[in-house]
Structure 1
Amino acid sequence: MDNQHVLNEQQPQWEQAFAKNKDMFGEAPSEAAVRAAEIFKKHNQTHILELGAGQGRDTLYFARQGFHVHVLDYTVEGTERIIQKASEHGLSDRITVTQHDVRIPFPQLDASMDGCYSHMLYCMALTTDELQKLNAHIHKILRPGGLNIYTARHIGDPHYGQGVYRGEDLYEVGGFIVHFFDRAKVKQLAEGYRIVDIHELEEGGLPRRLFQVTLEKVDIK
């Protein structure tokens, strides 16, 4: 079985995982989301696109902080769970949810978002070519000076080099494929942006070791 086929088969893995555990990552927001919210507020950015939102723990946090959040996620289980949570917490007026594969250009969002946020989406089963196209999609929907803040597990993570090798710096561990980053990859994926910050953080008991990258949109000449 070729690696690209394996990468394309990750969606059922996430559907099953979310179906078994309705709050797989807990209910508290991630450290990355708390930090991103502070950055967005500092730049007076209020309309945020969140990619790969999972089951919405960060989505709800952003909404409670006063942001309007447009979510794109490719799982049925995830999007339905976020809609349910938004309704239960009285946040439906601040959260819009669309099931969508981020490898495809985003629907009807041209230059309409102040910022984009994603937590560990970039280190999912996406090739470098797909990530470059994703960055171009994000660039298109951001207003001038808009921020793209993302996290990705880096090569200092304990899982780097473990499991089944799936090409580039992608490894399959426990059925899930992770694309590990180094700083050169961050720079490679910054076309059309200015790198504002590369912050390092840890999450979970392993712990996962992450870059949190803040990019500012610039005009592509």
Structure 2
Amino acid sequence: MTDDERDLADAQREHWQDTYAAHPGMYGAEPSAPAVHAAAVFRAAGARDVLELGAGHGRDALHFAREGFSVQAADFSVTGLEQSRDAARRMGVAERMTTVVHDVRHPLPLPDGSMDAVFAHMLLCMALSTKEIHALVGEVRRVLRPGGVLVYTVRHTGDAHYGAGTARGDDIFEHGGFAVHFFDRPLVDALADGWTLHEVHAFEEGELPRRLWRVTQSLPRSTR
């Protein structure tokens, strides 16, 4: 990691921490549409253990727990995870959800082949370099069991904010304090190398609206 990348990563961590503190439960209590889709995909695949990366204040992790999955929610924001634990206790699903403070620029703190499924809603398109994104997907592959499923969403280069704001290099642009790595289709395809790519589904979310891809891919069942 270069000094500029380290400075951006530190600034983004602080910005998200401050944002969650100022706006508790900022995304609401209802799960995102991609999480609802992912829960159905995970159930069809026979998954039991789910890891969410970039869980924030927990709206999607809580949905997985309510759906009966055993969930590990990871995020680099202590404040966001505190909010998710409080919500899990209120909803009576605390026994099915654990949290871990983790920056995905580092190896995942999980054993090989310990998860059935991984979900990440707009986590891969945060202020991560292409090299860091590839390393993270490699870590996801490591912790998944054979046949494991990854569902992730990313903002893509057709989004209105692509090219706007402050350019940080490597298709990363900072707008309104949030840095986003906008994906093109070759990057999605490269991340699916060695996986079965089931779908790249275009959808819109929120104001603007944000334009995203929902990507579903799985590992072979017989070999890693």
- TM tier relative to shorter chain: over 0.9
Asked whether the equivalents of residues 139 and 192 of structure 1 are also in contact (C-alpha less than 8 Å), the reply is: no
Match of 1:52 in 2: 54
Structure 1 moving runs of 4+ over 3 Å: none
Determine the C-alpha separation between the residues in 2 that align with 1:58 and 1:104. 23
Asked whether the equivalents of residues 51 and 72 of structure 1 are also in contact (C-alpha less than 8 Å), the reply is: yes
Identity %: 46
Query: Could you tell me how far 1:92 is from its partner in structure 2?
Result: 0.7
State the AA in 2 paired with 1:11: R
Determine the C-alpha separation between the residues in 2 that align with 1:115 and 1:159. 30
2:152 to 142, 150, 153: 150
TM (normalized to structure 2)?
0.94
Determine the C-alpha separation between the residues in 2 that align with 1:23 and 1:91. 17
Q: Deviations over 1:115-172 (max 9, x none)?
A: 0001000110000000010011100100001011100001111111100000011100
Match of 1:8 in 2: 9
State the AA in 2 paired with 1:87: R
Asked whether the equivalents of residues 113 and 144 of structure 2 are also in contact (C-alpha less than 8 Å), the reply is: yes
Determine the C-alpha separation between the residues in 1 that align with 2:6 and 2:88. 34
2:211 to 209, 218, 221: 209
Determine the C-alpha separation between the residues in 1 that align with 2:41 and 2:170. 31
1:170 to 167, 172, 197: 172
Asked whether the equivalents of residues 7 and 126 of structure 1 are also in contact (C-alpha less than 8 Å), the reply is: no
State the AA in 2 paired with 1:84: D
Asked whether the equivalents of residues 3 and 167 of structure 1 are also in contact (C-alpha less than 8 Å), the reply is: no
Asked whether the equivalents of residues 123 and 181 of structure 1 are also in contact (C-alpha less than 8 Å), the reply is: yes
Asked whether the equivalents of residues 45 and 115 of structure 1 are also in contact (C-alpha less than 8 Å), the reply is: yes
Query: Could you tell me how far 1:2 is from its partner in structure 2?
Result: 6.1
Query: Could you tell me how far 1:112 is from its partner in structure 2?
Result: 1.1
State the AA in 2 paired with 1:12: E
Alignment of 1:98 with 2:100, yes or no, is yes
Determine the C-alpha separation between the residues in 1 that align with 2:202 and 2:37. 12
Asked whether the equivalents of residues 25 and 83 of structure 2 are also in contact (C-alpha less than 8 Å), the reply is: no
The runs of 5 or more residues in structure 1 that have no matched partner are none
Q: Deviations over 1:178-197 (max 9, x none)?
A: 00011111012223322111
Query: Could you tell me how far 1:109 is from its partner in structure 2?
Result: 2.9
1:191 to 190, 193, 205: 193
Match of 1:76 in 2: 78
Q: 1:50 to 1:107 in 2, by over 3 A?
A: same
Asked whether the equivalents of residues 73 and 98 of structure 1 are also in contact (C-alpha less than 8 Å), the reply is: yes
Determine the C-alpha separation between the residues in 2 that align with 1:215 and 1:134. 15
Determine the C-alpha separation between the residues in 2 that align with 1:176 and 1:154. 15
The runs of 5 or more residues in structure 2 that have no matched partner are none
TM (normalized to structure 1)?
0.95
State the AA in 2 paired with 1:167: G
Question: What value does the CA root-mean-square deviation take over the aligned residues?
Answer: 1.4
Asked whether the equivalents of residues 113 and 142 of structure 2 are also in contact (C-alpha less than 8 Å), the reply is: yes
Aligned pair count?
Answer: 220
State the AA in 2 paired with 1:56: G
